[in-house]
Amino acid sequence: MDRRRRAVEVAAAAAAVMVLLLLPIVPAGGARRDWGFHPPSSFVGYTEPNTKPDIRNSGQSFVFNYTLAKAIVEYASAVYMTDLTALYTWTCSRCNDLTRGFEVTCIIVDVQNCLQAFVGVDPNLNAIIVAIRGTQENSIQNWIKDLIWKQVNLNYPNMPNAKVHIGFYSSYNNTLLRPAITNAVRKARKLHGDCDIIVTGHSMGGAIASFCVLDLAISFGSDNVHLMSFGQPRVGNAAFASYFAKYVPKTIRMTHERDIVPHLPPYFFFLPQLTYRHFPREVWEHDVDGNTTFQVCDGSGEDPNCSRSVFVLFWSASDHLTYMGVKIEADDWSTCRIVMGQSVEQLGMSLASNIATSGHSVDVVIADHSVQVD
C-alpha cells in the first residue's frame, strides 16, 4: 500500500514537472480562433452504456441540449462579476442574452475565502439556478500549478471508500456557501414549487458546485437536481465518482478542447484505487475540421476519446477561459482585494440601500470571517 502511494507521488511529481515546464509556453490567448457555432447538426453522440463496472450508469439515452448549455454557461460567467449591484439587479454586462429575465433571490459573498455565489429563478427554464465562482486569487497559473499536488485526503461522509480533496470539500462545507445556498434553494422552492435545480460553476467553482449539487440531491432528491460544470478539476476517487453518478445522474461536465484543468489532479489509470477519477458525463467541446462539435462522452467519466485524448504537452491554460464562445473568467483578478478594500459593513450598507429600491427582495449574505480553507 505504502509503495503504491509512493508510486502515485512519484508519478504526480513527474506530471508536475511536465506541467510546470509546459505552463510558460502556453499561449496567453489572443491567438484563439473564432469559434463558429454549428449546433445540433454537428453533434457527435456516444450513448453507449458504461463499460467500467465501478461506475453505474443510468443507461438512459443522453441528449445534449445546446441552447440550455449556452444559457448555463452565461450564468457561470456572470458569477465572476465583481459589481454586486449590477448582479442582483441582473444588469451586469454578462447578464443579458439567454439569461434575460433572471430573478436573483440571494447573493453570497465570503470575503475571506474569496468565494461568491448567487441563487435565483430563471422563468424561461422554469428552474432555480445556483452559480458558484471559484477561489482563484489573482493568478490562474498559480492555481493550476497548485492543483497538481492535491491528494484525496478526506473520507466523504456516509459513503464508504469515497475520498475527496479536503480543500475543495471545505470550500463548500465549511464556509458560508453550504448554509446560505441550502437556505436560498429551500426558500425558492417554497415559492416556485418542485422545479428543477441547476447548479453550475467554472474551474474551482465547478469543483465546489459538485459538492453542492450532491448535497442538494441528498436533501431534495435526485430527480430535479442537475449539475453543469465547465472546466472543473477532478474532486475525488473512483468510489466517490460512482456514488456521485448514482445521486446526480443528470450531470454534464463540460470540457473544452485542450483545457488543462480537467486533467488535474492527475488520473492514473494503472492505480485505480488511489487516483482521482472524474464522474460522468463529460461533453467535450472541440474543433473537428473547423466545426465546433459537442462530443457526448461515454459513461465512465474518463472516456479516452474525449479530452483525455489530448496529449499532456498540448494542455492549455487559455482554453480554460472560454466555453461555448463565452468568456468565463474574472473581470478583475484582484477582486478579493477590492472587496476587502472596502469594509464589509460599508458594502452591506450600500447594497442594502440599493435593495430597498429594487423591485423584489434579495438576500445578501456576506461573511468576512469564516473558516479558512486551503
Q: Kindly list the residues in this chain that would bind ligand NAG in the complex (CB under 6 A).
A: 42, 65, 67-68, 125, 154, 170, 173-174, 288-291, 298, 303-305
- In one letter, which amino acid is 30? G
For the four alpha carbons of 160, 374, 315 and 335, in that order, the dihedral sign comes to: positive
**Residue 336, C-alpha cell as written in the block:** 478579493
| Minimum CB–partner distance for residue 46 and ligand NAG (Å) | 6
Active site residue 259: yes
Q: Which of 259, 298, 303, 319 is catalytic?
A: 259
| Minimum CB–partner distance for residue 186 and ligand NAG (Å) | 16
Active site residue 256: no
Q: What is the DSSP track for 266-300?
A: ---TT-TTTSB-PPS-EEEEEEETTEEEEEE--TT
| Minimum CB–partner distance for residue 262 and ligand NAG (Å) | 17
255 sits in the region (left: phi over 0; alpha: psi -120 to 50; else beta) called: beta
Q: What share of the chain is helix, strand, coil (3-state, %, to 5)?
A: 40, 20, 40
Shorter beta-carbon distance to ligand NAG: residue 154 or 283: 154
Do 101 and 122 meet the contact criterion of CB atoms below 8 Å apart?
A: yes
Shorter beta-carbon distance to ligand NAG: residue 52 or 320: 52
Strand pairing category for 44-45 and 127-133? unpaired
- What stretches of the chain show up as alpha helix (H) in DSSP? 2-22, 66-78, 84-88, 140-147, 166-173, 177-192, 204-220, 238-247, 335-341, 344-357
For the four alpha carbons of 336, 338, 360 and 365, in that order, the dihedral sign comes to: positive
CA 47 to chain centre: 23
Shorter beta-carbon distance to ligand NAG: residue 173 or 200: 173
> Exposed (0-12), middle (13-18) or buried (19+): which is 63, by Cβ within 10 Å?
exposed
How many Å apart are CA 365 and CA 348, to the nearest integer? 9
Shorter beta-carbon distance to ligand NAG: residue 270 or 356: 270
Shorter beta-carbon distance to ligand NAG: residue 293 or 354: 293
Shorter beta-carbon distance to ligand NAG: residue 111 or 125: 125
The CA–CA distances, whole Å, from 219 to 39, 161, 175, 359 equal 35, 21, 18, 31
Active site residue 320: yes
Q: Which of 203, 300, 316, 318 is catalytic?
A: 203
Q: Which of 165, 226, 263, 320 is catalytic?
A: 320
Do 117 and 133 meet the contact criterion of CB atoms below 8 Å apart?
A: yes
| Minimum CB–partner distance for residue 309 and ligand NAG (Å) | 8
| Minimum CB–partner distance for residue 319 and ligand NAG (Å) | 20
How many Å apart are CA 126 and CA 194, to the nearest integer? 10
Residue labelled with grid coordinates 478583475: 332
How many Å apart are CA 179 and CA 208, to the nearest integer? 14
Shorter beta-carbon distance to ligand NAG: residue 173 or 232: 173
Q: List, by residue number, the catalytic residues.
A: 203, 259, 320
